[in-house]
Structure 1
Amino acid sequence: MYYPYLRGRQFELIALREYAQQRGDNNQIIPIIEPVKKTFNSLKLAIPRLIAGEVKFALILNPQVGEIEDSSHITESLSIELENKDNWIPTFIVTNNILAIRTAIHSNGYENVMLICSDMLDTSSEHFEALAKSDQVKYIVSNNRTLKRTLRGHNKFFIRIDDKFEAQKRNSDYLEIPEQKFTEEHLFFGEDGYQGFSDYTVLTSDFKEGGATPYAVSIHLTYQKANEEIWIRHFTSESNFGRENIQGKFAEAARKAVHFLDEENIENNASNELRDYYNQEKYPGLGMVKKITIKNHLELINSIL
């Protein structure tokens, strides 16, 4: 099972909404969502679509980045959407806040909880070990092999998480690295003793909000090689000397991407959407481009698994 880690921003959530509607009869994806906005309109739209599409999701109840200062606002604002606890997984990022997490779990009666182990967590702590071994906790998200050995035999689902996207300082830098290996976890996570694997899709794990109009447009698409490894291609504009004509920059990048998709006979909902924008000479905006790249990755992994 694949557990993509996404922030609760507009276009990440649109990608999840559309994936849930378009996935067909098969689903091997449980997204992990970290809310980052004080307003919950996008989540209020996304959660019912995920539920209707029978896509279970993990919702982080103590986000560590973004605008939310009081975590109780999440469950209060989404009380209707989260009413049926069978549809979602209560999730906590564990740093040095073990007592607060134990209190939240017990006071809300949460079951089948997911714990995401941060780099600041001392997994040898007896307090953390007691929390992780408790009957209420089912999922452990970490790449700590020592922890996996410690919890062996306690009926936990271990999910390996990695940061796979190698972000460049500038979009134009991707001109020098047209493609690179992205992951092979889908081939080996079971052999390595994990029940699932996680990454940040085609986004970086670093949280950045907003940003200026870029000098270059780059479209990042994952695909599978003949040896079954997943690689990522970067399709980047050429006229990168100023911030003007963003529509033209998109067209340059999209032309390269569509040529590759056609050459490799890659076809899914995301790739067809990109083709439509390019063929109709429409510029959808950079947010929609990000949505397409995320959805392409979700569709790829789901089809492989």
Structure 2
Amino acid sequence: MYHPYFRGKQFELITVRETAELMARVGFVPIIEPVKETLNGLDRALTAVCEVGGSVIVIVNPYHGDHAEDGAGISALLKKKYLGKKGVSAGILLKEHMTRTDALACYAAHKDHEPVFVHAGFTEGKAFAEDIVDFLPETQHVFFEKHCGTLYRKHYRGSRRILLRDGFERRRNADHPPVEMFSELHLTYQDDGMDGFGDFLIVGDDYTEGGGPAYAVAIHLTFINPEKDDVMYIYHFVSDTKDTPTDPAGKFAQALNKLIAKLNTGASHLVETSSIGEFRKLHAEGHFPGLGQVKKLSLIHHIQTLADYLG
């Protein structure tokens, strides 16, 4: 059903760990693209998923980060600790400059890990579908929507197909509107002939190695709007102070005040997730937990919101 796509930074992996039980219970399958050289965080996340009987797809040839040139370390981890463990699949990222021969070789190398093809700029989609026609019904394919139009996806009809859509509009925090549409894919993926859907949560598909100083602090929270046919929208609660890189705690307090004010209207449509409870607690205590923790709370809220709606 739902496949949240995580780039494997610290707080993304912590999010996977902390929501593993919930995702397993409602049938969500996270996709993780490891981007950090050390794989300890990935290992802990996979262990958490396995312990609750969940499923996860791990990209073995990342496009971004420290493993972009060589994913051998990821493959070695899967082989050493997760070979034969049901639910851990190897994700093969089909990138722009990848050949069909490369893709088939990667598939063969990870055949014992229930490989999943993740289409992200691959230019030989039709020919590759013909290459694997004999076992196409046994395969699973995840499509980055911006790279894979309807015709491209049509070549893989008969397999299990997942569509990934980036609902997060990336811009400077200071430039975010108070609220905007996020996605309707949770409502329409079956109409598109897909078996499941995914997104990049409240981070977006654009990858950056690290953030600079926060001139503005924003809290991003998604919600299902019953007044708009259950389309998903996203709030951006942005600090009033936007012209200095100092005082992130003060700017977080400004953004948090806006969130609490919206909640107090009784008409926010925000699900009372554990993250909302934590934001209420932070407001009451006047505490700033750090921007990484704020991001994690927003990620968890997104997953819990979709679980509440779909589960």
TM-score, length-scaled by structure 2: 0.89
Q: Which residue of 1 aligns with 2:132?
A: 131
Report matched runs for 1:1-305 at 5 Å: 1-21=1-21, 23=22, 26-68=25-67, 69-95=69-95, 96-110=98-112, 112-124=114-126, 126-131=127-132, 134=135, 138-142=139-143, 143=145, 144-152=149-157, 154=158, 156-168=159-171, 170-174=172-176, 177-226=177-226, 227-262=229-264, 263=266, 264=268, 266-305=271-310
Write the deviation string for residues 204-242 of structure 1: whole angstroms up to 9, x where unpaired: 211101122211100100001112111000000002221
Write the deviation string for residues 126-181 of structure 1: whole angstroms up to 9, x where unpaired: 245313653595211124322333333x3x1111111110011x21112xx10001
**Distance (Å, rounded) in 1 between the aligned partners of 2:9 and 2:57:** 15
Question: Which shows bigger deviation, 85-94 or 231-240?
Answer: 85-94
**Distance (Å, rounded) in 2 between the aligned partners of 1:303 and 1:91:** 27
**Distance (Å, rounded) in 1 between the aligned partners of 2:36 and 2:20:** 22
Check conservation: 1:112, 1:136, Cα contact below 8 A: no
RMSD: 2.0
**Distance (Å, rounded) in 1 between the aligned partners of 2:54 and 2:276:** 21
Write the deviation string for residues 253-280 of structure 1: whole angstroms up to 9, x where unpaired: 1111123234336311121122222211
Check conservation: 2:2, 2:29, Cα contact below 8 A: yes
SS state at 2:277 partner: helix
Compute the displacement of 1:80 (Å). Answer: 4.3
Overall identity of the aligned pairs, in % = 30
**Distance (Å, rounded) in 2 between the aligned partners of 1:218 and 1:298:** 19
Which structure is richer in relative contact order (CA contacts within 8 A, separation 6 or more)? 1
**Distance (Å, rounded) in 2 between the aligned partners of 1:119 and 1:31:** 20
SS state at 1:284 partner: coil
> Gaps (5+ residues) in structure 2?
none
> Gaps (5+ residues) in structure 1?
none
TM-score, length-scaled by structure 1: 0.91
Compute the displacement of 1:78 (Å). Answer: 4.6
CA, structure 1 residues 242+52, in 2 after alignment: closer, same or farther (shift >3 Å)? same
**Distance (Å, rounded) in 2 between the aligned partners of 1:132 and 1:209:** 38
What amino acid sits opposite 1:117 in the alignment? H
Compute the displacement of 1:25 (Å). Answer: 7.9
What amino acid sits opposite 1:33 in the alignment? I
